[in-house]
Structure 1
Amino acid sequence: MQALYIASTGMAAQERNVEVLSNNIANMRTTGFKRQRAEFQDLLYQTYRRAGAATSDTGTQVPVGIEIGSGVQVAATSRLMSQGSVAPTEQSLDLAISGEGFFMIELPDGETAYTRDGTFQRDANGQLVTTEGYAVQPGIIIPQDATSVSISRDGLVEAYINDATTPVQLGQIQLARFANKAGLESMGENLFRETPASGEAQIGAADADGMGHLMQGYLESANVNAVTEMADLIAAQRAYEMNARVISGADQMLQAAAQVR
């Protein structure tokens, strides 16, 4: 009975949906995390009678055909890149982006990754790095004797050296944006990788040419809404249960057919 296989695809799709939702909920406190959404599409149809088929020699046609679908599948897990809320941290090297853009990070193999997580620190050489020790691009070196580091809206990094009365410019943090930021590939560690779907990175200064501005001493929270995720989770569970009931009902029909004498 085809209903068994159709309902099994529904259960498999909702299982994948629950996995996506559980990952969203697990990352509610992950800085810069962007939630995902499972998107579904129906599978191929078996046509028993085509719409418009002739029913007589005089040209009459069937207004509606007979098509039976074969189930559902997960077509994509879209990443929703909406802005998360920002919260103060009282750490001078923490940065949040308000608006478009990603921080550029150099990985150990020389590849450039992108992130919305602005949890930055200084390493032993004074270089601005992520929590994993990856260098922020372009490289910013903060001297050991630097005090009162300030980062402006447009990413200009300044600091007072020793007892100097005027600040010294240490560099400028730049941002990257993409034509299709939802097409970025997730790498883990709050990092994304450029793909053909995302398009090439467009690099520029913050607070200019459509780029967002930087907020020193703030971090961007995950854009996960707990109430929405729980509501979606309940809906997915109920859809899974209904597909399981279809399998149970089809099994009972097959059992009744097998008992006919």
Structure 2
Amino acid sequence: MLPSLYSGISGLRANQQKLNVVANNIANSSTTGFKTQSMNFEDMISQNLSDPSAPVNNGIGGVNGKQSGLGVKVGGISTDFTNGSMQSTNRNLDFALDGTGYFVVSPDGGTDDYYTRDGAFVLDKDGNLLTQEGNHVMGYASGATGTGQPTTALSIKQYYTSATNGVDTGTDAQKVSSFSVGKDGSITVKLGDGTSYEVGQIGLASFQNEGGLVKMGGNLYKTSPNSGDATYGTSGSGSFGDINQGMLEMSNVDLAQQFTDMIIAQRAFQANGKIISTDDEVLQDLVNLKR
């Protein structure tokens, strides 16, 4: 068989995968906090037709080796973690991170953590602060140092007793009239009598190598051996960005770039298909030599 036939097949496979990456980027162009992916190609091993030789003293000069490539493969799929643009929503449970960091969420309110840039949170009937899929938003209790792994499942109750800063559904309880989240992630509730106090602080995480994070779906990431362990803290401290209430981070997909990449991948796919059809004609001519 002709080696170019298999080179063409490898080109079809690689460019099909590139189209898959581009299609996923375009499909998620409106996904909150989505990060664009890009794909790189690598050439496959080459066949040595002849080895190189060094010059001979007072004799023939050096000769370069002859190599023939055997196709292409996917070199890697990387993620662009630059911030997306901020969009104002005026919803008090929407939060956008301006800078480095991830919200820490847990399915059971424990230490089995996931990480997300999607700050479109909701409350349930018990006042638990949750992601759209029901994962608890993790942070620090009021008065805590705000360092180390956040282990408090945050909540914003509807009734508090101002005397004890505790939750109470009795006659002494007052309904929350409003709440706010500061740049440092601290959650402050305001009661009907005008008193206010902090009920917790949103925790954040950062990583030595963001590219090593594993996508879990649902806008969630999980650590991997190559991402490194999470470093925890609060917004506005250290290298962490600020939390902006009433805003969401949009996808950082550049549609113009994606359409350009799609055209390039499509034409490359067509060209590799043409190689296969040409090889088919050559093989047909070989078969027809014996008549």
Give, as a single letter, the amino acid of the residue that structure 2 aligns with 1:150.
S
Give, as a single letter, the amino acid of the residue that structure 2 aligns with 1:142.
I
- CA distance in 2 between partners of 1:189 and 1:140 (Å): 20
- CA distance in 2 between partners of 1:250 and 1:65 (Å): 26
| Residue 53 of structure 1: how far off its partner (Å) | 5.4
| Residue 260 of structure 1: how far off its partner (Å) | 2.3
| Residue 81 of structure 1: how far off its partner (Å) | 0.7
Give, as a single letter, the amino acid of the residue that structure 2 aligns with 1:143.
K
CA deviations 1:34-87 (Å, max 9, x no partner) are 11111211111111112235789946320x211111111112211111110110
- CA distance in 2 between partners of 1:103 and 1:97 (Å): 9
- CA distance in 2 between partners of 1:5 and 1:54 (Å): 36
- CA distance in 2 between partners of 1:110 and 1:102 (Å): 15
Give, as a single letter, the amino acid of the residue that structure 1 aligns with 2:130.
V
Which residue in 1 is equivalent to 2:142? none
Which residue in 2 is equivalent to 1:87? 87
Which residue in 2 is equivalent to 1:184? 213
- CA distance in 1 between partners of 2:259 and 2:106 (Å): 36
- CA distance in 1 between partners of 2:41 and 2:256 (Å): 22
| Residue 253 of structure 1: how far off its partner (Å) | 1.6
Which residue in 1 is equivalent to 2:161? none
- CA distance in 1 between partners of 2:73 and 2:125 (Å): 50
SS in structure 2 at match of 1:149: strand
Where do 1:137-216 residues align within 5 Å?
137-138=138-139, 139-144=153-158, 145-163=175-193, 165-216=194-245
Structure 2 portions without partners, runs of 5+: 140-152, 159-174
- CA distance in 1 between partners of 2:135 and 2:244 (Å): 21
Larger radius of gyration between Structure 1 and Structure 2: 2
SS in structure 1 at match of 2:82: coil
CA deviations 1:135-162 (Å, max 9, x no partner) are 0012222121322211111101101023
Where do 1:22-37 residues align within 5 Å?
22-37=23-38
Structure 1 portions without partners, runs of 5+: none
2:83 is aligned with 1:69: no
Count the aligned residue pairs: 259
SS in structure 1 at match of 2:120: coil
Which residue in 2 is equivalent to 1:244? 273
TM-score (norm 1): 0.95
CA deviations 1:3-41 (Å, max 9, x no partner) are 000010000000011011101111111101111111211
Give, as a single letter, the amino acid of the residue that structure 1 aligns with 2:77.
T
Where do 1:222-233 residues align within 5 Å?
222-233=251-262
Residues 122 and 130, structure 2, Cα contact 8 Å, conserved in 1:
yes
- CA distance in 1 between partners of 2:121 and 2:37 (Å): 25
Identity %: 36
Residues 189 and 198, structure 2, Cα contact 8 Å, conserved in 1:
yes
SS in structure 2 at match of 1:260: coil
Which residue in 2 is equivalent to 1:4? 5
SS in structure 2 at match of 1:209: coil
SS in structure 2 at match of 1:81: coil
RMSD: 1.7
TM-score (norm 2): 0.85
- CA distance in 2 between partners of 1:129 and 1:237 (Å): 41
- CA distance in 2 between partners of 1:128 and 1:172 (Å): 12
| Residue 114 of structure 1: how far off its partner (Å) | 0.2
2:259 is aligned with 1:258: no
Give, as a single letter, the amino acid of the residue that structure 1 aligns with 2:123.
R
- CA distance in 2 between partners of 1:201 and 1:31 (Å): 22
- CA distance in 1 between partners of 2:212 and 2:239 (Å): 19
SS in structure 1 at match of 2:13: helix
